[in-house]
Amino acid sequence: MPRQYWLVKQEPTKYPFSQLQKDKKTYWDGVRNYQARNNLQAMKKGDLVLYYHSVVGTEVVGICEVVRESYPDPTTSDERWVVVDLAAKKALARPVSLAEIKSDKTLADMALIKQSRLSVMPVAKKEFDRILQLGAKAA
């Protein structure tokens, strides 16, 4: 099965990408939206994930990998909610801002723009590759 690509959002004041890099891996908890939960359930081991700092910064800052597929969220007794384990891969050479994403024609249909409130979303391979390309360039 081909690899899938995703984007997860987190406020850097709560859990910045730099903390994930220190921790090496974490479970992605706290998702309480059905569509985002369904996206977590669709993640497969080996899928790549863009790490997006929301609210403060609003930019893609790093890449993670799904290292464990969905299982019950240990932070709640409500069986409807799940987590996946994510491992830090690397920080982008430079963050890719939301403004830059919105102004790039290749990224015009990206869920980040179309469904801006969703915390876990699929990303097309061409979108993933374009963000990596943008994040590799000097500012």
> pLDDT grade, residue 116 (50/70/90)?
confident
- Kindly state the percentage of the chain with pLDDT values over 70: 98
* pLDDT(1) > 90: no
Mark 47-82 as b/e (b = at least 16 C-beta within 10 Å).
bbbbbbbbeebbbbbbbbbbbebbeebeeeeeeebb
| E-strand stretches of the chain | 5-10, 25-27, 48-53, 59-72, 82-97, 120-123
Express each pLDDT in 29-73 by its tens digit.
999 999 999 999 999 999 999 999 999 889 999 999 999 999 999
Q: 68 is in which domain, residue-wise?
A: 5-136
Q: Which CATH number characterizes residue 26's domain?
A: 3.10.590.10
pLDDT at 2: 72
pLDDT at 32: 95
Tokens describing residue 11: 């406020």
Q: Is 71 helix (H, G, I), strand (E, B) or coil?
A: strand
Helices (H), the chain: 17-23, 34-42, 98-103, 111-114, 125-136
pLDDT at 137: 77
- pTM score of the predicted model: 0.96
Our count of domains for the chain comes to 1
* pLDDT(106) > 90: yes
